[in-house]
């Protein structure tokens, strides 16, 4: 599984692209045309020279174990179009050295690869960047100050919520968003970004259409629950206290559990913040041995995509460090032991009922959890549309569902939801199924099931939806 | 579940219990009104709502499944090999990217132009599209009507199944031709009859083609069953579809259609009959034409009689043309070319075309012969009328128009056509060759490809810019035999300084080479592993 010969699919390579423009530019460089002196090593690296418009070709190297990239082009995108083109070339045709032996990397590639190898060999603690606090007393004081500020913010928010419920939600449709935006700003001042985000969300609900009062009451109640939990956090059991802290947006106080496993990448997708400045990338993993789900988040600053990219269907042997709290989902990837390589096994799915039970069980650890990662199957997608209602009827449009292949149970598929997944992915899902059963990975929560990846019954190749 | 309750319960227990026993709907009602008008504190309401929210979420049950869609019919065709599937995904991912329209296109190949080739080649191999790419193919088919038939054929039954579910793809259901395997077996008389009576127009045209391909005489029989009830425009389209595979079996039907109510139908029937050299109409036209043209000179008709009208001759000339010349042109164009040999004492086409013609009539006569040669697909006459490819264009016998030459060329055999165009390019360069290249068979024959490359090389040496030849460059990317890539490498690698026309040429040749290599890879990938 470690050979450079285990190639990725074109989809997996294109999933690395930071944006659409790079995806297109990379695809155009994915033929032999502009490339020369290409090669690959058994330790999982590929390199090549790409002819650009200048007289000197660009030098491109990719370390597949990261994956990490280096290119002499001036682009500030990672990976750049040359790295993508090189990977596509490798995906399509392989870059085997003559006579099937692994070629030695040219100097310019070898130096960088050696540097990376040396860095990887250093002890994990040194690399983790989590500096041991030099001034424990100072850190404790800072934490106390912050706790006090959050306490003030929480008390203020409680007041705001009480006012809301005392006066009645009915006025909210007219009240507008500005008042909540102001409260959110106060929460930012109070250094509670988790509360700020929830308050902002709360403010958008009255404009969300029918059923908004119930949704608003739910969100207000959960916010109230979080406020109360913070005010009594010292009395809570450790895992729940850690969950409350992370929901408020505080860094974990302790290191979590480290789990070494073969991590299968089940999904990767980006969402933009409401102001479009910050991109959040969610990567869902599942330990093939432990069966444990893991959510790795990465963030892209304004105008830049997140740096971490793990294409769907790859397996990486690595250590995942789980953050305390939040039902044990959030993880950071630590040391990796082998280059990422495609996986040829399809995870086993569960029924719709079992999926909801898994979500329900996870709520015990984290009552604020929106959804839980679930492999569902075999299920049949039922496309929404006009087939439910007669022509001219107002309620003609029906929602999509995923139904158990056997029996009558189904989960609704939200057209917009936490991830705001585009409908294009749903049509791809329908195309894959053709009315038959398949296995689907997605997020299962109180809004329904959001499909992210699918496997056809006769294929082990995962298809990233959307 | 119990843990959840305890967790939420502890947080809510601090306040009063006014809302503890209310249902969720009652809580929402109270929250809408506001606690001011009710007993109990806001905290109690929020606490009770929090407990209910978490309880409801933790206790969610699946919904009742709606009606499942009918399973898609099985598509027995194989999927393309894995490398080809990846290539298609890549071409579809890049489809919107290229064609930015700027003059300089860089050295990388244009993927948009390769998608049509991929689709055509996959169609020839009889593949079906990978299911995950069917939605993207349907989107391509919607956006580019030129690719529609191929994209829909590849999408097959899975594509039609999806199109029934998504209104955006309804167009796929109208086309009909894309529905692989939807037509009945031509032996299945009941199935044929039912589709002919009930089918959509496109399905009926496809059915007619199928039935005729199976047995030539069965086409007219099928048409006759409903002919009198068809609308005029449908009658015209049905007649038009007979053009492919026209044979003597169609003659009686066409002869009857000469008396049709619609003038357009009559004219089309006459045109089709004249393309059948043995038809009675062609014989009547020959008689009339031979009376007008011979070694002794040209005497155009003096009148357009009822017989000529019935045989499709249009009486009124277009503005600016004399009516006698107009009638003459129609007679000659509809007469079988074989009739002229005897009339001119056993001469062949080339000798007849070379004969001097009485003043003023040469242009009219030669143009009519050109139309006849195209209509009757007569290579010998086409060759004679095209003349020598290296002769100055204006010296050709009344075929100065490139469009006319292109039409004549299309009646020649593949090799002859390529050889003629190659000679034309060597003599006249590329500037006028575009239209002629368009009728040559892809990939271009060796001699033709070499002529194009040499001409591009001369254009570079003459100091032109590659974008002046972008049309031919684009054609070359699509039509050159990939085997020519080696020959082009030398041109692409020629050392140049930065900037200037030479650098642009080098870039253009690099792109051409890259595209040819990609095309070659694309075809290799589609070849099934043995």
Nearest in space to B93 (alpha carbons), one of A81, A11, A422, A430: A11
Q: Determine the average pLDDT of the residues in A440-462.
A: 93
> pLDDT tens digits, residue range A7-24?
777 777 877 887 777 877
DSSP-H helix ranges across A122-236: 124-128, 136-167, 172-175, 178-189, 193-204, 212-231
> pLDDT tens digits, residue range A95-105?
754 434 456 78
CA dist list (Å): B340 to A435, B286, B308, B337, B370: 65, 9, 20, 6, 14
Cβ contact, residue pair B11, A232, below 8 Å: yes
**And the tokens for A129?**
């960047």
Q: Give A403's strand partners.
A: A380, A410
Cβ contact, residue pair B60, A388, below 8 Å: no
Note whether B192 and B211 are within 8 A (CB): yes
Interchain contact A432–B (C-beta under 8 A): yes
Note whether A377 and A437 are within 8 A (CB): yes
Q: So what's the pLDDT on residue A378?
A: 95
Cβ contact, residue pair A427, B166, below 8 Å: yes
Does residue A392 have a pLDDT over 50? no
Cβ-proximal residues to A413 (8 Å cutoff; 6+ apart), any chain: A381, A384, A399, A400, A401, A402, A426, A448, A449, A450, A451
Q: So what's the pLDDT on residue B497?
A: 62
Structure letter (DSSP) for residue B390: T
| Residue B426 parent element (H or E) | helix B414-428
Nearest in space to A51 (alpha carbons), one of B95, B106, B79: B106
Q: So what's the pLDDT on residue A419?
A: 45
Of A32, A206, A221, which to mutate for an interface test with B (greatest number of B Cβ within 10 Å)?
A221
> pLDDT tens digits, residue range B337-392?
999 999 999 999 999 988 888 777 888 898 899 999 999 999 999 999 988 888 76
Q: So what's the pLDDT on residue A409?
A: 96
Q: Which residue has the higher pLDDT, B474 or B97?
A: B474
Neighbours of B126 (CB within 10 A): 12
Chain A residue with CA closest to B133: the answer is: A428
Q: Sign of dihedral through CA atoms B197, B201, B203, B207? A: positive
Cβ contact, residue pair B58, A434, below 8 Å: no
Nearest in space to B160 (alpha carbons), one of B141, B184, B186: B141
Q: Quote the CA–CA distance of B273 and B275 in Å, as a whole number.
A: 5
**And the tokens for A357?**
């039970």
Q: Quote the CA–CA distance of B212 and B218 in Å, as a whole number.
A: 6
Nearest in space to B519 (alpha carbons), one of B490, B483, B467: B483
Q: Quote the CA–CA distance of A258 and A336 in Å, as a whole number.
A: 12
Ranking A178-192, A242-256, B1-15, B459-473 by mean pLDDT, the lowest is B1-15
| Pairing relationship of beta strands B63-64 and A409-413 according to DSSP bridges | antiparallel
A1 pLDDT band (50/70/90 cuts)? very low
Rounded to two decimals, the pTM is 0.73
Burial of B345 (0-12, 13-18, 19+ CB in 10 A): exposed
Ranking A206-210, B53-57, B494-498 by mean pLDDT, the lowest is B494-498
Nearest in space to A26 (alpha carbons), one of A15, A40, A38, A37: A15
DSSP-H helix ranges across B179-231: 189-198, 201-214, 218-226
- Residue B131 with chain A: CB contacts under 8 Å: 431-432, 434, 456
Q: Quote the CA–CA distance of B59 and B52 in Å, as a whole number.
A: 10
How many angstroms from the chain centroid is the CA of residue A408?
31
Mean pLDDT of chain A: 84
Interchain contact A431–B (C-beta under 8 A): yes
Cα dihedral B454/B456/B462/B467 (nearest 10): 180
Cβ contact, residue pair A463, B4, below 8 Å: no
Cβ contact, residue pair B72, A435, below 8 Å: yes
Cβ contact, residue pair B62, A434, below 8 Å: no
> pLDDT tens digits, residue range A125-173?
454 445 555 678 888 888 888 889 999 999 999 999 999 999 899 888 8
Q: Determine the average pLDDT of the residues in B155-184.
A: 77
| Residue A284 parent element (H or E) | strand A279-287
Chain A residue with CA closest to B519: the answer is: A31
Q: Which of residues 185 through 214 in chain A touch B, CB cutoff 8 A?
A: 213-214
Q: Which of residues 124 through 163 in chain A touch B, CB cutoff 8 A?
A: 158, 161-163
The SS3 assignment for A280 reads strand
ipTM comes to: 0.80
Does residue B441 have a pLDDT over 90? no
> pLDDT tens digits, residue range B221-265?
999 999 999 999 899 999 998 988 899 999 999 999 999 999 899
Q: Give A374's strand partners.
A: A442
Identity of the residue in A51, A165, A240 whose CB atom sits nearest the CB atom of B42: A165
Ranking B17-21, B268-272, B395-399 by mean pLDDT, the lowest is B395-399
Of B66, B105, B502, B508, which to mutate for an interface test with A (greatest number of A Cβ within 10 Å)?
B66
Peptide bond into B349 cis (omega under 30): no
Of the ranges A120-134, A277-291, A373-387, B4-18, which is most confident?
A277-291
Mean pLDDT of chain B: 85
């Amino acid at each position: 599984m470690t050979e450079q010969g285990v190639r990725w699919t074109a989809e997996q390579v294109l999933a690395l692209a930071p944006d659409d423009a790079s995806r297109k530019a990379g695809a155009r460089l994915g033929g032999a045309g502009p490339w020369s002196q290409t090669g690959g090593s058994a330790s999982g690296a590929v390199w090549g020279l790409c002819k650009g418009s200048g007289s000197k070709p660009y030098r491109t190297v990719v370390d597949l174990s990261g994956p990490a990239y280096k290119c002499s082009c001036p682009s500030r995108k990672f990976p750049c179009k040359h790295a993508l083109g090189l990977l596509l070339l490798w995906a399509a045709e392989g870059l085997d050295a003559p006579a099937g032996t692994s070629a030695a990397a040219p100097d310019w590639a070898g130096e960088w690869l050696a540097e990376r190898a040396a860095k990887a060999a250093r002890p994990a603690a040194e690399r983790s960047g989590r500096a041991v606090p030099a001034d424990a007393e100072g850190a404790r004081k800072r934490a106390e100050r912050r706790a006090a500020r959050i306490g003030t913010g929480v008390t203020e928010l409680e007041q705001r919520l009480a006012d809301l419920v005392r006066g009645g939600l009915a006025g909210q449709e007219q009240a507008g968003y500005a008042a909540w935006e102001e409260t959110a700003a106060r929460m930012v001042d109070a250094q509670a970004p988790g509360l700020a985000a929830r308050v902002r969300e709360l403010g958008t609900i009255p404009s969300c259409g029918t059923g908004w009062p119930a949704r608003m009451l739910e969100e207000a109640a959960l916010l109230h629950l979080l406020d109360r939990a913070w005010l009594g956090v010292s009395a809570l059991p450790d895992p729940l206290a850690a969950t409350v802290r992370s929901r408020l947006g505080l860094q974990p106080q302790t290191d979590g559990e480290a789990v070494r496993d073969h991590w299968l990448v089940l999904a990767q997708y980006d969402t933009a913040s409401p102001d479009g400045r910050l991109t959040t990338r969610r990567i869902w993993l599942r330990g093939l041995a432990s069966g444990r789900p893991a959510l790795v988040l990465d963030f892209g600053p304004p105008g830049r995509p997140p740096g971490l990219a793990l294409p769907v269907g790859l397996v990486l042997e690595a250590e995942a460090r789980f953050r305390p709290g939040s039902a044990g989902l959030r993880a950071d990837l630590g040391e990796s032991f082998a280059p990422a390589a495609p996986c040829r096994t399809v995870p086993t799915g569960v029924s719709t009922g079992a999926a909801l039970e898994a979500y329900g069980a996870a709520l015990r650890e984290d009552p604020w959890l929106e959804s839980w990662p679930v492999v569902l199957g075999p299920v049949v997608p039922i496309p929404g549309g006009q087939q439910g209602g007669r022509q001219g009827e107002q309620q003609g449009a029906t929602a999509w569902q995923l139904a158990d292949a056997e029996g009558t149970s189904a989960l609704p598929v939200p057209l917009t939801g936490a991830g705001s997944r585009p409908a294009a992915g749903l049509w791809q899902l329908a195309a894959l199924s053709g009315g038959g059963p398949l296995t689907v990975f997605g997020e299962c929560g109180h809004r329904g099931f959001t499909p992210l990846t699918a496997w056809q019954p006769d294929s082990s190749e995962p298809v990233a939806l959307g | 579940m119990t843990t959840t309750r305890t967790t939420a319960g502890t947080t809510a227990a601090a306040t009063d219990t006014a809302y503890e026993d209310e249902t969720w709907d009652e809580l929402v009602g109270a929250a809408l009104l506001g606690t001011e008008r009710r007993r109990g504190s806001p905290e109690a309401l929020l606490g009770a709502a929090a407990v209910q929210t978490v309880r409801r979420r933790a206790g969610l049950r699946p919904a009742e499944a709606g009606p499942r869609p009918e399973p898609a019919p099985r598509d027995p065709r194989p999927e393309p090999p894995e490398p080809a599937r990846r290539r298609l995904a890549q071409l579809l991912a890049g489809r919107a990217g290229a064609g930015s329209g700027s003059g300089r296109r860089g050295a990388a190949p244009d993927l948009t132009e390769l998608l049509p080739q991929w689709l055509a080649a996959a169609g020839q191999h009889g593949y079906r599209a990978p299911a995950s790419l069917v939605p993207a193919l349907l989107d391509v088919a919607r956006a580019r009507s030129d690719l529609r038939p191929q994209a829909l054929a590849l999408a097959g039954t899975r594509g039609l199944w999806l199109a029934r579910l998504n209104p955006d793809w309804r167009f796929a259901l109208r086309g009909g031709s894309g529905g692989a395997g939807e037509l009945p077996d031509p032996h299945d008389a009941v199935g044929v009859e039912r589709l002919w009576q009930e089918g959509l127009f496109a399905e009926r045209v496809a059915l007619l083609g199928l039935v005729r391909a199976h047995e030539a005489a069965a086409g007219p029989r099928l048409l006759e069953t409903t002919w009198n009830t068809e609308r005029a425009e449908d009658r015209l389209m049905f007649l038009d579809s007979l053009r492919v595979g026209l044979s003597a079996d169609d003659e009686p039907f066409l002869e009857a259609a000469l008396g049709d109510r619609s003038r357009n139908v009559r004219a089309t029937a006459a045109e089709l009959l004249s393309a059948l050299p043995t038809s009675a109409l062609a014989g009547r036209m020959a008689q009339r034409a031979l009376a007008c043209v011979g070694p002794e000179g040209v005497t155009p008709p003096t009148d357009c009689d009822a017989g000529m009208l019935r045989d499709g001759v249009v009486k009124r000339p277009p503005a600016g043309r004399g009516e006698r010349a107009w009638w003459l042109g129609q007679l000659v164009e509809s007469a079988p070319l074989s009739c002229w040999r005897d009339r001119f004492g056993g001469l062949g086409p080339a000798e007849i075309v070379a004969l001097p013609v009485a003043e003023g009539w040469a242009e009219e006569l030669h143009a009519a012969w050109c139309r006849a040669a195209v209509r009757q697909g007569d290579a010998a006459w086409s060759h004679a009328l095209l003349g020598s490819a290296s002769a100055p264009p204006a010296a050709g016998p009344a075929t100065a128009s490139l469009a006319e030459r292109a039409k004549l060329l299309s009646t020649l055999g593949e090799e002859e056509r390529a050889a003629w165009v190659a000679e034309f390019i060597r003599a006249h360069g590329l500037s006028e060759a575009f239209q002629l290249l368009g009728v040559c068979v892809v990939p271009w024959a060796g001699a033709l490809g070499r002529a194009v490359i040499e001409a591009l090389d001369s254009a570079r040496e003459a100091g032109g810019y590659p974008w002046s030849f972008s049309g031919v460059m684009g054609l070359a990317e699509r039509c050159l035999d990939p085997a020519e890539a080696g020959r082009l490498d030398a041109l692409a690698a020629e050392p140049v300084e930065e900037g200037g026309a030479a650098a642009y040429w080098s870039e253009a040749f690099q792109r051409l080479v890259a595209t040819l290599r990609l095309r070659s890879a694309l075809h290799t990938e589609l070849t099934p592993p043995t």
